[in-house]
């Protein structure tokens, strides 16, 4: 018997459902009037209603966001004691039940005002709404819920009300039935526990059969845009000094799943690519090195001009030519080492040292072949540029004795 009673919603439990195409939602209005302390078969109505709500939420369609509004829970004799405790949102069962378990019935049964508040909040949309009212008694705030229901319908609010009257007298039957019939809904009169359980199942079927239509895809306007692709050295990061960028880099750009730009040997190492606003993927690589670098990132392209920055790992190289400990004149060439071999077709740098100056380079990390000539000598050796470090290379330009 207790199991049967637990599944029955007694007292006054109002549930309002607004069924939007693709976006249904629901509001539960919970009766916390003083009459909820009354008993049925030795069990308080508030306890039975809590269990009924728990069973309802356990099988709740997760596609229907739900909220909770309560009346009569804060003070006695206040017909305006109506409060939304949980706004409409994806169902949090634990939060909902904790809230209901903490409710202590106290006040009136403002059915008419509850109908008005719920219906008027639904009027913001032309989509149909359903209100389900389960009550063990009639209005107690000197209002006519039937008249209010008719008034709300006449205002053009698109809703119907299905009403269940549990163990009520014939006068209350008539009042509750009028609410349903005035809105195009159905009325169920349950004289005993079994009839109430059956009525709840019938009404629940009407509510839970929610067809969620596919959400209409959002149309994203694509506006013309350009993206300037720039690769700088890591040591440039945060610098206010304008730099020309790293040469010898290769670029790839994809947008909308298509290749927009791909240049394995660009003449312009800072190309400007025509795109449109939206998401894009940009990749840069620096392949001619013993330590090749490659970076990729997803970016958001805004209408108009865009600048996409990448940073390559780099280090510094300082070269001096010495003749018996004194700086002297020399010519120096640098070539990248790729796959263990010097690529002498890809000269990285050339300079001339003098007593007044050394050769100073910022270069991508990796190994390089250095070739120099000074005082009739030919010099050759391998040097390595390390990330964030400065390497000093001193060439021995002491003349060879005959």
DSSP codes, 141-157 = SS--HHHHHHHHHHTT-
Per residue in 153-190, pLDDT tens?
Answer: 899 887 777 787 777 788 888 988 998 899 888 898 87
Q: Which residues contact 344 (CB under 8 A, 6 or more apart)?
A: 335, 369
Per residue in 339-388, pLDDT tens?
Answer: 999 998 888 888 999 999 999 999 999 999 999 999 889 999 999 999 99
CB 153 within 8 A of CB 164: no
* Beta strands 314-323 and 390-396, pairing class: parallel
The domains located in the chain, with CATH, are 2-208 (3.40.50.410), 224-312 (2.60.40.10), 314-396 (2.60.40.1120)
Token pair, residue 115, equals 């109908």
What is the C-alpha separation between 293 and 234, in angstroms, rounded? Answer: 12
Range scoring the smallest mean pLDDT among 74-88, 243-257, 259-273: 259-273
CB atoms within 10 A of CB 121: 16
Please report how many Cα atoms fall inside a 13 Å half-sphere around the Cα of residue 131, on the Cβ side.
34
What is the C-alpha separation between 345 and 361, in angstroms, rounded? Answer: 19
Of the pLDDT bands very low, low, confident and very high (cuts 50, 70, 90), residue 9 is very low
Block residue for tokens 């053009």:
156
Res 14 pLDDT > 90: no
User: In this predicted structure, what is the pLDDT of residue 370?
Assistant: 95
Block residue for tokens 């070269």:
319
Block residue for tokens 């209100």:
131
Say how many residues make up the chain: 402
Tell me the average pLDDT of the chain: 82
Per residue in 131-157, pLDDT tens?
Answer: 777 777 788 998 998 999 899 889 988
User: In this predicted structure, what is the pLDDT of residue 1?
Assistant: 36
What is the C-alpha separation between 194 and 269, in angstroms, rounded? Answer: 81
Question: What is the phi/psi pair of residue 62, to 5°?
Answer: -65, -10
User: In this predicted structure, what is the pLDDT of residue 216?
Assistant: 53
CB 154 within 8 A of CB 183: no
CB 317 within 8 A of CB 363: yes
What is the percentage of the chain residues whose pLDDT exceeds 90?
42
CB 242 within 8 A of CB 249: no
Q: Is the dihedral of CA 82, 86, 91, 97 positive or negative?
A: negative
Token pair, residue 224, equals 């013309």
In 3-state terms, what secondary structure has residue 164? strand
What is the C-alpha separation between 122 and 130, in angstroms, rounded? Answer: 10
b vs e for 71-104, b when ≥16 Cβ sit within 10 Å of the residue's Cβ?
A: bbbeeeeebebbeebbebeebeeeebeeebeebe
Token pair, residue 99, equals 């809230």
């Amino acid at each position: 018997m207790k199991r049967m009673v637990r599944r029955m919603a007694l007292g006054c439990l109002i549930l309002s459902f607004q069924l939007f195409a693709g976006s249904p939602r629901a509001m539960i209005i919970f009766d916390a009037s003083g009459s909820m302390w009354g008993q049925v078969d030795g069990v308080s109505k508030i306890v039975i209603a809590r269990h009924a709500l728990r069973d309802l939420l356990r099988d709740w369609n997760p596609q229907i966001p739900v909220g909770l509004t309560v009346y009569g829970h804060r003070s006695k004799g206040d017909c305006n004691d109506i409060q939304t405790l949980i706004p409409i949102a994806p169902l949090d069962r634990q939060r909902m039940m904790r809230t209901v378990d903490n409710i202590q019935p106290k006040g009136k049964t403002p059915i008419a005002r509850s109908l008005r508040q719920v219906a008027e909040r639904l009027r913001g949309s032309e989509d149909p709404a359903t209100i389900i009212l389960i009550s063990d008694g009639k209005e107690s705030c000197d209002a006519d819920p039937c008249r209010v229901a008719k008034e709300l319908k006449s205002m053009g609010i698109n809703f119907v009300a299905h009403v269940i009257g549990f163990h009520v007298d014939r006068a209350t039957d008539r009042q509750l039935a009028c609410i349903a019939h005035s809105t195009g809904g159905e009325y169920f009169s349950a004289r005993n526990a079994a009839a109430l359980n059956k009525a709840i199942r019938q009404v629940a079927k009407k509510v839970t059969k929610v067809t969620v239509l596919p959400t209409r895809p959002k149309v994203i306007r694509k506006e013309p845009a350009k993206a300037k692709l720039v690769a700088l050295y890591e040591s440039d990061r945060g610098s206010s000094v304008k730099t020309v960028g790293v040469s010898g880099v290769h670029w790839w750009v994809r947008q909308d799943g298509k290749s927009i730009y791909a240049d394995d040997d660009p003449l312009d190492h800072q190309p400007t690519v025509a795109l449109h606003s939206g998401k894009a993927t940009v990749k840069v690589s620096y392949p001619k090195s013993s330590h090749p670098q490659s970076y990729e990132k997803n970016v958001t392209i805004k209408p108009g001009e865009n600048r996409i920055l990448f940073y390559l790992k780099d280090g510094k190289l300082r070269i001096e030519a010495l003749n018996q400990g004194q700086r002297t004149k020399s010519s120096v060439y640098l070539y990248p080492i790729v796959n263990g071999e010097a690529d002498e077709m890809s000269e990285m740098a050339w300079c001339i040292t003098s007593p007044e100056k050394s050769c100073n380079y910022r270069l991508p990390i990796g190994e390089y072949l250095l070739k120099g000539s000074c005082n009739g000598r030919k010099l050759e050796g391998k040097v390595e540029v390390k990330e964030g470090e400065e390497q000093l290379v001193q060439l021995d330009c002491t003349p060879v004795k005959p």
